[in-house]
Structure 1
């Protein structure tokens, strides 16, 4: 059994050495490459990232079968991943100007201050399986433009996909050793994580995955006083107010709940609709949901992909059965065939049901009918997680005031909960983590902020 594999660039492979030694070798290699890479002019680093984006686009076909075999990804989901990954690389390259020193002159004292963003060192990026290409690129792109070298710990669910992604990125003009990949078997994943975090050359950490594992990462990082960016679990609500465009809201809820079998941290799991329009809206959403399983004769079938495992599908099935046993009505779907579940829609979700509280991470959404916007906000916030939310209403001023009260890092107004923009800060509140990917916020995450003062006309203080 292979214990660990790292990218092909001189690092040891196979089971001749322990996971700990191989993980250490990956960080050592990244540390050796750091000084040279961080000294590259930032515009030249940007050029490498733009080359990576072009290569990812050109070689997307190499990822279709790998992602399908390992995590059940549909072709449309791989394309979505590649397109967003390409955009992340281009956007990260555009940050070059924001990394320039800022100068502040104090005419009174003759002091000149430089505010500098300086590369931190080796960045460890730990990546989830559910959006393997997007999340892999996101874990490395911003650290690289900031001048850091990177070790990406791929998921044990899709080691070949993550390995090949790094191989594609490394076929650009990036120097050897700057970008590395470590993948371990599931029984070694925790020990490998501990080893990587504890390496003295690792200076920054980012992790995308479940809150359960994220808590372990945070604890381990705290032992070493290392900053960590955590993007964790979600349970996104979509609120439908009485003046909403019901067709648009139903389409957004359907897309947000079932794309990639609902295995997205931003997936719509709770649909909260005011009673005055609930019947009409629920009829539209139920029809949209049923059409995914049984499209009309003139409609193109939708490939939603597979769930990560039959056990995952059975877990979601148990959430549905628990909700039904406590009064919820199954309006569509829910049938399971191994690792494929038909998109499921439940009406009458209530707080005594597991589905109300637990992240399903599968193709199921629950509907709650409420009196007004005030009750909708209260129910939306009654959740441990706070990553993504959506509000549908034609009153955008009202929507903005409600968004201010939602305890979620990202709020979409008249758009689906599953939406990302690499130029915008993305991250959660509460148990959905802390720190932000996207835009200039990533510069804060992956650099040291330094103040360098130059005293042009020094006036030394007296004792």
Structure 2
């Protein structure tokens, strides 16, 4: 039985290291505010040590065989499987996620590890392409980038950390990883423990428990970092993109969303309601892909709204440790205040509160608004809370136009009984992902996961992630003496 609370340290160059800062952070349970553990923050110097260790270790790790890399990944996956119960309980305690959410996150993390076994051998594949010069052989090699700087968020910390870490390692890179400190155990400690168990050579994976005021932009500016992988807000993503551009570093940015859920005139309302309730309220709405706007054709609007509210009213909320709970606490009081602010903003914008959720501690019961204007401030904001906005469209075409009327473009969904029409509209939606007759929160390790517009740059998932975390090199071999023009 692992007790992760006692492993409250950074992991640098194969060793568990106490943070050297005089500043510390109390990691609290968002449901009852009880202290889970206390982190002493790592300093800029310790972060520099992590990058130095990563750079040195990567040179050797890049020379390993595919079988060696696969063996480490398989052992890390085995560790996570063996400690599933403790991991799920840690997710519940630390992130406020329900037991359902904890199980989903654990499953998604394992899928990412298992998929990496399929592309770990890409480094060994050498392509030959035709040459116009007689006797020339053109080889295209795929090489690791080097050191990857990984920064992950609070909402699905284990999964969203691992989807950067394991492709990087599988493809011969090393990693310096900083989880959101609110979920330092789930997003950092557990992963370091898994790779330590797996026998990953020291320095290939380094995990820093610290926060931005302590280290500034050093995760972005360290010369060793060849790619910055960040999942989080668009505002921070723009800052990262600006610094990366100035330093000509690659980025993989998965940022905010404003996902539309479109119910067309010929939709099955009952199934649309079922999907919308799940896709809006899983993990209290704290998911980048979560349904943010529900856009319904006027012919279905009243029926949809009535059935949706009826179903939402019955959702159990409260203690995330109760297996029946669907809606647990928001991750912190700042997120609670933001959610309450969006409720007031919706009212100011003229929306009708048909269900207004009460606050109980850090748990916010669901709220539903009808008569929402698509261009209102509430509708154009990423809510990240259990707040549903219902918007009426006069035609199917207008519904699609409304769906596209946002600066973001991560996920989206369309409900229709005409699948051909659904496919046509899906291609018109300006989002990286569209799901027909399903909700917006879908993930898999073998699809191109990512967004358009201000929702980010780059794609995760096999094989697209291979291009993100490697570089290609042309090697030509002149096998016959070449005659030159002068």
Q: TM-score range by the shorter chain?
A: over 0.9
1:441 maps onto 2:464 in alignment: yes
Going from structure 1 to structure 2, the CA distance change for 1:39 and 1:358 (only over 3 Å counts) comes to: same
TM-score by length of 2: 0.89
Among 213, 223, 226, which residue is 1:187 paired with? 213
Residue in 1 that maps onto 2:18: 13
Q: For 1:22-69, what per-residue CA distance to the aligned partner results, in whole angstroms no more than 9, with x for missing partners?
A: 001111111111122111112331232122222212212222343333
Residue in 2 that maps onto 1:48: 72
1:34 maps onto 2:39 in alignment: no
Residue in 2 that maps onto 1:63: 87
Residue in 2 that maps onto 1:160: 185
Q: How does 1:344-359 map to 2 (within 5 A)?
A: 344-351=367-374, 353-359=376-382
TM-score by length of 1: 0.93
Instruction: Give, in whole Å, the separation in 2 of the partners of 1:289 and 1:309.
Output: 23
Q: CA deviation at 1:352?
A: 5.4
Among 350, 364, 381, which residue is 1:327 paired with? 350
Moved more, 230-239 or 391-400: 391-400
Residue in 2 that maps onto 1:208: 231
Going from structure 1 to structure 2, the CA distance change for 1:200 and 1:119 (only over 3 Å counts) comes to: same
Q: For 1:155-200, what per-residue CA distance to the aligned partner results, in whole angstroms no more than 9, with x for missing partners?
A: 1211222222221232113212111101213532xxx352122222
Q: What 5-or-longer segments of structure 1 have no aligned partner?
A: none
1:79 maps onto 2:84 in alignment: no
Q: For 1:394-415, what per-residue CA distance to the aligned partner results, in whole angstroms no more than 9, with x for missing partners?
A: 2121111111111101111111
Going from structure 1 to structure 2, the CA distance change for 1:390 and 1:351 (only over 3 Å counts) comes to: closer
Residue in 1 that maps onto 2:313: 290
Going from structure 1 to structure 2, the CA distance change for 1:232 and 1:107 (only over 3 Å counts) comes to: closer
Q: CA deviation at 1:127?
A: 0.5
Among 375, 382, 388, which residue is 2:411 paired with? 388
> What is the number of residues matched between the two proteins?
454
Residue in 1 that maps onto 2:168: 143
CA contact (8 A) 2:122 2:171 kept: no
Among 142, 152, 155, which residue is 1:130 paired with? 155
CA contact (8 A) 2:13 2:204 kept: no
1:457 maps onto 2:480 in alignment: yes
1:379 maps onto 2:384 in alignment: no
Going from structure 1 to structure 2, the CA distance change for 1:125 and 1:16 (only over 3 Å counts) comes to: closer
Q: Is the partner of 2:217 in helix, strand or coil?
A: helix
CA contact (8 A) 1:313 1:338 kept: no
Instruction: Give, in whole Å, the separation in 1 of the partners of 2:250 and 2:264.
Output: 40
Residue in 2 that maps onto 1:22: 46
Q: Is the partner of 1:183 in helix, strand or coil?
A: coil
Q: For 1:370-415, what per-residue CA distance to the aligned partner results, in whole angstroms no more than 9, with x for missing partners?
A: 1112101111111111100001112121111111111101111111
CA contact (8 A) 1:156 1:186 kept: no
Q: CA deviation at 1:97?
A: 4.4
Instruction: Give, in whole Å, the separation in 1 of the partners of 2:349 and 2:477.
Output: 69
Q: Is the partner of 1:157 in helix, strand or coil?
A: helix
Among 401, 424, 430, which residue is 2:424 paired with? 401
Instruction: Give, in whole Å, the separation in 1 of the partners of 2:176 and 2:64.
Output: 19
CA contact (8 A) 1:263 1:361 kept: yes
Residue in 1 that maps onto 2:25: none
Q: CA deviation at 1:329?
A: 1.7
Q: CA deviation at 1:350?
A: 0.8
CA contact (8 A) 1:292 1:301 kept: no
Instruction: Give, in whole Å, the separation in 1 of the partners of 2:317 and 2:283.
Output: 17
Q: For 1:269-292, what per-residue CA distance to the aligned partner results, in whole angstroms no more than 9, with x for missing partners?
A: 100111111122222211221111
Q: For 1:313-359, what per-residue CA distance to the aligned partner results, in whole angstroms no more than 9, with x for missing partners?
A: 22212211221233212222421122111122111111453211111
Instruction: Give, in whole Å, the separation in 2 of the partners of 1:44 and 1:394.
Output: 49
Among 109, 120, 126, which residue is 2:134 paired with? 109
Instruction: Give, in whole Å, the separation in 1 of the partners of 2:81 and 2:368.
Output: 35
Instruction: Give, in whole Å, the separation in 1 of the partners of 2:247 and 2:150.
Output: 16
Q: What 5-or-longer segments of structure 2 have no aligned partner?
A: 1-7, 23-41
